[in-house]
Structure 1
Amino acid sequence: MESAHSHRRDLAIWGYAFGYFACYAPYSALTKALSSGLLPGMAHGIGGFALLPASTLASLVGMFCFLTVKGWWRHASHRTVFGVSVPSPGRWTFMSGLCSAAIIGTTTLAYTFEGTSILFMMLMMRGGVLVLAPIVDAVSKRRVQWPSWVALGLSLGAVAVATGPGTDPRLSLAALIDLGVYLLSYFFRLRAMSRLAKSEDPAVSIRYFVEEQMVATPAIVLTLAALALVGEGRGMLEIREGFTQFFARGRMLEEVCVGLLSQGTGIFGGLILLDHRENAFTVPVNRASSILAGVLASAVLAAWLGQRGVEGRELLGAALVMAAMLGLSVPLVLKARRERKAAASPQPSSSAQG
């Protein structure tokens, strides 16, 4: 019974990976269509900063509903406020939640810098996190299994293929700072997860997940509200427009969908990273799901709205990612088959043993 329970827990990460993929593909495609003004009836696109308020508010509602429906609030630490017990994050989960908020913000900003290739920035961020994974494992004194090394190498190979000839490798100072904050936030988040949440006990991971989620999205909403009140500069004015012109833009349903899908990627992506195995295993699963979703989103936009299709090198990169995911999953499947055969084989009787 314990072996079957362990097997289901080990396979759960692939369900989370599919959920991440299923949310990320329409999220990225719909965001691109809205920001570029590609949907029918749009005279112009909606700026990236202007999209953030509505999408993050929808994410906030989605986070609250998910944790409530799952009944996971009870797993969080609690403290008494005016005689009422309320969920409360710990010091490390609070910091991890702020890092998660920084990751979301820097990811959005990464695609707004002039003179810097969007594809190059995306792959620098994914490749950077792939490099961080074994470093965090080494610092955390976690042993890395050989399939994880193979998958890590294939994933980095996919990044190398996609950043080959034809991409624009220029990085402005602002882009470098953005990339640095992104990677530093991921390092702290992965380190905190390794220290506090990567446990054989699922309740430990759920507690960390809940406490991190209850900080990340509210932190983004409050930050955006503060920037909108300041209203200095193009970016802040766009954020203010996002709050004040939400209904006037006439794309309320699409913007809400972007927020809910974004929260879905946050939920499934976080659950992938919180798997009890080493970061060199979980990070390639997380990154691979997003790369495959990006390829699908590009193909859908090409077929639906006539945008640039998927190039040959991107398909090659996706093939390497698929090979990485197979390399991670096959040992688990073989282990499960061995366990089922062992459970089905007749056990010697106590008399025969005597």
Structure 2
Amino acid sequence: MELTDHRRDLTIWGYAFGYFACYAPYSALTKALSQGALDGMTRGISGFELLPWSTLASGVGMFLFLTARGWWQYASTRTVLGVRVPFPSPWTFLSGLCSAAIIATTTLAYTFDGTSIVFMMLLMRGGVLILAPLVDVMSRRRVAWPSWVALGLSLAAVGVATAPGVDARVTAAALVDLGVYLLGYFIRLRFMSHLAKGQDASASIRYFVEEQMVATPALVAVLVGAALLGEGPVLSDIRHGFTDLLTRGRVLEELLVGVLSQGTGVFGGLILLDHRENSFCVPVNRASSIVAGVVATGLLSVLLGMPGAGRRELLGAALVMGAMLVLSLPTVLKARRAAKQAAPVTGSEAGGRAPGR
């Protein structure tokens, strides 16, 4: 049964909570593993070492999620050797490649030495926040006023956390990582706006399934190819990522990074595919992850003695929460009005009406 409009509008906030619930432990665990901060670790695990098995775990999580939801039926199909199989369109295939790049660069972003989770997160999220209204304008979508207010608050949060005086060491590798991440999101948002964002829920699910079935397998294929080449420090790390899982002694943690990463991909993708404009959906998505980053930093500080979130980062998180409140109020009020209108009329209310009405 189709959801009513007001219930459908509220669904995005459930996705936002799911995104937060996956993102906080995902970013914290990734940072702890890369810094060798867990008990018994003698060295940190580089981001490229983390990618192979975490990506494989993400692929398994993707398959299980789509199967459990029964969403394979929404995908386009082709006949291969006499069997109808799910098959992406050229556009969802390209979007899936962009999603693969986002998965890889997100994991790597939290492994750079000297750069905090919150700072890298704000750079990445702030960049996408800037892209959102640009994509809406290019896609000729109307941007409602709450979206502009929330966008302004979100950008203010980025400005507070990256203002002069903040310890903001960013390596060349981190800048390249950021550039690939933003390019991937720009292309992905353009495709989503053109092909999926609308009132047709089945179109959004089809897009989501076809993108997901490409993203993780494509990333695994790239990592396998890189491991087989095995020349240079980066490719060597990828190869050791595949072969030294048991030696590193953090099997559960590395696989959990992948499962949580897939969780962020699922909930984050569903947020972005909401039928409303990108200038609404992107701040919801970005705000959830920024708050998750602050929580992750707090957990690392309390549990492992790593540096905690500073005042500016906390102020940034407060501004982000304000952005989420601005975005949520119109939808919540609309849902309450719809529920009130749909409520049955009581006997006393009926008796109080004027005759003949």
1:291 partnered with 2:323: no
Q: CA deviation at 1:103?
A: 1.5
What is the alpha-carbon distance in structure 2 between the residues aligned to residue 184 and residue 66 of structure 1? 27
Structure 1 unaligned spans of 5+ = none
Quick one: structure 1 residues 168 and 240, their matched pair in 2 at CA, closer, same or farther if it must change by over 3 Å? same
Residue 121 of structure 2 corresponds to residue 103 of structure 1:
no
Q: Is 1:266–2:265 an aligned residue pair?
A: yes
Aligned length: 351
Partner of residue 27, structure 1 = 26
Structure 1: distance between partners of 2:275 and 2:40: 47
Q: For residues 310 and 218 of structure 2, what CA distance do their matches in structure 1 show?
A: 38
Gaps of 5+ in 2: none
- Counterpart CA distance in 1 for 2:107 and 2:241 is 15
Residues 181 and 41 of structure 1: CA distance in aligned 2, closer, same or farther (over 3 Å): closer
Q: Post-superposition shift, 1:334?
A: 1.1
Q: How far apart, in 2, do the equivalents of 1:109 and 1:38 lie? A: 17
The separation in 2 between residues aligned to 1:60 and 1:151, in whole angstroms, is 34
Aligned to 1:222: 221
Pair 29,117 (structure 1): closer, same or farther in 2 beyond 3 Å: closer
* Aligned equivalent of 1:89: 88
One-letter amino acid of the counterpart of residue 90, structure 2: R
Bigger CA drift: 149-158 or 307-316? 307-316
Question: Equivalent residue for 1:341?
Answer: 340
> 1:257 & 1:345 partners in 2: Cα distance?
48
Pair 52,273 (structure 1): closer, same or farther in 2 beyond 3 Å: same
4+ long deviations beyond 6 Å: 114-118
| Separation in structure 2 between the aligned mates of residue 89 and residue 46 of structure 1, nearest angstrom | 35
Counterpart in 2 of 1:140? Answer: 139
Q: 1:190, 1:34 → 2: CA distance?
A: 31
Please tell me the residue identity of whatever aligns with 1:182: Y
Partner of 2:254: 255
Computed over aligned residues only, the root mean square deviation of the Cα atoms, in angstroms, reads 2.2
Q: What is the CA distance between 1:163 and its match in structure 2?
A: 0.3
Matched residue SS, 1:167? coil
Q: For residues 253-294 of structure 1, give each alpha carbon's deviation from its aligned partner in whole angstroms, at most 9, with x where no partner exists.
A: 111111100000000000000000000000000000000001
Whether contact under 8 Å (1:100, 1:216) holds in the other structure is yes
* 2:185 is the counterpart of 1:183: no
Superposed, which structure 2 residues align to 1:50-61 within 5 Å? 50-61=49-60
Moved more, 70-79 or 177-186: 177-186
Q: CA deviation at 1:172?
A: 5.6
The residue identity in structure 1 corresponding to 2:199 is E
C-alpha deviation, 1:121, in angstroms: 3.9
Give the C-alpha shift of residue 179 in structure 1: 2.8
TM-score by length of 2: 0.93
Q: How does 1:162-173 map to 2 (within 5 A)?
A: 162-168=161-167
Give the partner amino acid of 1:310: A
Letter in 2 for 1:131: I
2:281 corresponding residue in structure 1: 282
TM-score by length of 1: 0.93
CA distance in 1, matches of 2:337, 2:118: 42
8 Å Cα contact 1:55/1:259 also seen in 2: yes
The answer to which of 155-164 and 168-177 deviates more is 168-177
CA drift at 1:177: 3.9
Letter in 1 for 2:80: V
Question: Is 1:79–1:88's contact at 8 Å kept on the other side of the alignment?
Answer: yes
CA contact (8 A) 2:16 2:267 kept: yes
Distance of 1:256 and 1:178 partners within structure 2: 22
For 1:291-322, what per-residue CA distance to the aligned partner results, in whole angstroms no more than 9, with x for missing partners? Answer: 00011111111111111112111110110011
Verify: 1:9 aligned to 2:5, yes or no: no
| Structure 2 SS opposite 1:79 | strand
Residue 344 of structure 1, CA deviation: 2.9
Q: 1:161/1:99 Cα in 2 relative to 1: closer, same or farther (>3 Å)?
A: same
Structure 1 contact 154–323 (Cα < 8 Å) conserved: yes
